[in-house]
Structure 1
Amino acid sequence: MSTSAELHAALVEQLTQDGTLTEPEWRAAAEGVPRELFVGSFFLPVPGSNPTACRPVHRGEPGWLERVYSNETLVTQLDGHIRPEDVTEGTVTGSPSSSSTLPSLVLTMWQQLGAETGHRVLEIGTGTGLSTAYGANRLGDANLTSIEYDPAVGARAAASLKAAGYAPRLIIGDGLLGDPEGGEYDRLIATCSVRHIPQPWLYQVKPGGRILVTLSGWSFAFGLALLTVTGPGEATGRFLPGYVSFMIARPHDRPPRQSLELLPGDERPTRINPEIISTWTGGWVAQLAAPSAERMGAGEQQILSDVATGSQARTMPNPDGGWTVVQRGPLRLWDQVESAVEAWQAANSPHQERFGITVSAAGQRVWLGAEDGPGWDLPI
């Protein structure tokens, strides 16, 4: 059986060999932070269960240490309050609300952020504290402030950081409001997703500073953006290659939906194959076009339900080929999605690195290709 030191060293070597750790300083941070101090018990999904059931894996039981030092995300909380320690037998269902993100993604994002010695960094979402520890190791405690929304999660992270020998400034509060004491930061990194860039961030990061954050929405599509602040309240940036997703910040999450009743409406043929919005970037484009809609369904049978207005759209295949869409309500959701997808397809359906974002007093706009190309306003 391998020791924790051996498993830790093997994980760092794996991340070096696969190209994750490209900077010696961040390799040193990965070597200096043992993940086992930040991940106690966790949940694992039960294969084949529907809805997804999770079983707890507790500290010290067979296989626990090997999973801790695997390059995978480990869920540490469900539904905002259920911990693995709360489940004494059997399984439980629930939506993941806190986790220890896979180390390769955390370390990649720190390197993408471009944080260097002497930079002051604001981290949004302390979580288990693992990412915070990497940052404190590289930058020093005095240069890192981390904000956690959930008091119980924050308390556990604080204990883990202390046990690991780190003492960055930790705040319990709404990270979307930024540092309650203000301040000027060189960098901001978020380990949650947001529907739009919070205005306080744009005033607390210095002009020339960078913000790294995942944009998301109520249809659960994601895009990782790196922005440069160009002035107070203003920024511009591009979306990065790859596939990154984070839990949405709780203040940006959709309102609760009691049930969904599919109602009759206006029917017409669709101009696009509905399956396209089940793809990574196709779903992203659809979400940009209908930002207050929740997407359900799969394949050729898609359902869009607008949380704010009750508008609906649903698609179905026709027996003789093609597809039909049924729409009702004040918003013609499929019309919006169809036009956006056609604009994206006209540009040869590129991945998200062809998209950019501009933030100004006029609003927040995601665009394709160039700032004067097709674009969509983010909900503010």
Structure 2
Amino acid sequence: MDWKPHAERLAREVTPPVSRWRSAVASTPRHRFVPRWWERESDGTWALRDGHADESAWVSAAYSDTSLVTRVGPWHADHAGPDDRPTGRPTSSSTMFRLVVRMLRHGLLYDGADLGLIGTGTGASTALAVRRLGEGHVTAMDVDPYLTEAATERLDSLGMSPRVVTCDATGSLPGSFDRVVSLVALPNLASVLAALRPGGRLVTTLVRMNVIITADKRPDGVAHGVVEWDRAGFMGTPTGADYPSDTNELFATVRGCDGDQVTAGRYPVLNVAEAWDVRAMMELAVPGVETHYEEHGDQRTAWLVHNDGSWARASATWIDPPEVHQGGPQRLWTVLERIRHRLNAEGGLPVYGSRVHITPDGVCHFTSGGWSASYG
């Protein structure tokens, strides 16, 4: 396969002309890291794609600026058969190079810096980091032993031997680093903060929040930084083969139930997961809330569920006021409407651009003007 022209085109698309990352992208054969992947079908199942069976589709997918899903729940594409049709959420992918480069650039890497890269995935992002820093300065981590094994083999086939470690990023990390960049969303930052050397820099997103946090660690062990005006969506960090199913089971139970409280909503039905500012504020207001959204023609329905048993469902035709059902100890849709009212009244929400300081217990403390919130 003549992959280099495709890699060079991708490099031009995702990096500025003078970026040091351009040559890294142009010289990385991404297809070698993603021989098989999943694509979602219209019925919600996932279909297997095999690069060796269709080279033109392989080149097109591997050198497009998109993320390629390589695991759904516990189902690795590498281990699947052509008739397998898993359902559920993606649990690993080859992240689009544009986003990988952006996250690494937020890290302000420098020659000789030791980088801890959380979320090995296929190993393609590790290859980019090695191109920039050298293999002796890169430690890649993932919770899935198959992923770390496969990534090690694929990197080795390109003559790269960075340290690749199987570990849970919510526990102790294997070493200390000048930079830690996480390509998965983290629920708490205690372990990464502990692994960061004084003066070191952390770049991460948070579970159920699409904010990018950059923070520098001070000698007292506290990291100070900001929520960048940039944003990114990463998968959360599972501690095993799949994510917990508590809220999925609750959603199945309450999907069509009548609520304890039934009211008319003030605002049109919203796909909260795609409204990133609103989603971030919702997580800060009610940590752990999960969202679901469906459209059937002009009919829109959104659900909010929480593992304390709280739930809400709002349904409406197009932008009409919705009928809202709520149950459980918290009124989740009421919280959401307060956030949306603030957005309408003030023209924005305070989380993006806010200051953040991270204490050694891993909790993020956000402040912006008179607003404050904590996470983790």
Query: Structure 1 length as normaliser, TM-score?
Result: 0.84
Q: Give 1:121 deviation, angstroms.
A: 0.9
Q: Is the deviation greater in 285-294 or in 249-258?
A: 249-258
1:329-368 aligned at under 5 Å gives the runs 329-350=328-349, 353-360=352-359, 364-365=363-364, 367=366
Q: Give 1:270 deviation, angstroms.
A: 4.2
The equivalent of 1:203 in structure 2 is 194
Change (3 A) 1:40 1:355: same
**SS of corresponding position for 2:43:** coil
Cα distance in 2, alignment partners of residues 344 and 234 from structure 1 = 31
**SS of corresponding position for 1:118:** coil
Q: Give 1:82 deviation, angstroms.
A: 3.1
Change (3 A) 1:170 1:276: closer
What amino acid is aligned across from residue 249 of structure 1 in structure 2? T
Contact kept in structure 2, 1:45 and 1:54, CA below 8 Å = yes
The equivalent of 1:214 in structure 2 is 205
**SS of corresponding position for 2:122:** coil
Q: Give 1:32 deviation, angstroms.
A: 3.0
Q: Give 1:41 deviation, angstroms.
A: 1.6
The equivalent of 1:285 in structure 2 is 281
The equivalent of 2:99 in structure 1 is 105
The answer to whether residue 113 in structure 2 is matched with residue 119 in structure 1 is yes
The equivalent of 1:36 in structure 2 is 31
The equivalent of 2:148 in structure 1 is 154
Change (3 A) 1:50 1:22: farther
Q: Give 1:249 deviation, angstroms.
A: 0.5
Contact kept in structure 1, 2:12 and 2:22, CA below 8 Å = no
Change (3 A) 1:70 1:323: closer
The answer to whether residue 40 in structure 2 is matched with residue 82 in structure 1 is no
Q: Give 1:260 deviation, angstroms.
A: 2.3
What amino acid is aligned across from residue 58 of structure 1 in structure 2? G
Cα distance in 2, alignment partners of residues 321 and 273 from structure 1 = 6
The answer to whether residue 2 in structure 2 is matched with residue 8 in structure 1 is no
The equivalent of 1:264 in structure 2 is 259
Listed as ranges, the gaps of 5+ residues in structure 2 are none
The equivalent of 2:313 in structure 1 is 314
* Identical-pair percentage: 24
Cα distance in 2, alignment partners of residues 320 and 150 from structure 1 = 43
Match of 2:236 among 248, 260, 265: 248
Figure out how many residues of one structure are paired with residues of the other and give that number: 363
Cα distance in 2, alignment partners of residues 199 and 11 from structure 1 = 36
What amino acid is aligned across from residue 238 of structure 2 in structure 1? R
Q: Give 1:352 deviation, angstroms.
A: 5.8
Contact kept in structure 1, 2:178 and 2:201, CA below 8 Å = yes
The answer to whether residue 58 in structure 2 is matched with residue 61 in structure 1 is no
Contact kept in structure 2, 1:275 and 1:298, CA below 8 Å = no
Change (3 A) 1:13 1:54: same
Contact kept in structure 2, 1:365 and 1:375, CA below 8 Å = no
Q: Deviations over 1:228-279 (max 9, x none)?
A: 2234542232222344211110039444433322343123454544427452
Q: Deviations over 1:187-233 (max 9, x none)?
A: 1011111233x20211221233211111122xxx5222212223454
Q: Give 1:89 deviation, angstroms.
A: 4.1
Query: Structure 2 length as normaliser, TM-score?
Result: 0.85
Contact kept in structure 1, 2:186 and 2:206, CA below 8 Å = yes
Q: Give 1:81 deviation, angstroms.
A: 3.0
Cα distance in 2, alignment partners of residues 273 and 356 from structure 1 = 31
Contact kept in structure 2, 1:237 and 1:357, CA below 8 Å = yes
**SS of corresponding position for 2:199:** strand
The equivalent of 1:295 in structure 2 is 291
The answer to whether residue 44 in structure 2 is matched with residue 51 in structure 1 is yes
Change (3 A) 1:260 1:141: same
Cα distance in 2, alignment partners of residues 319 and 4 from structure 1 = 45
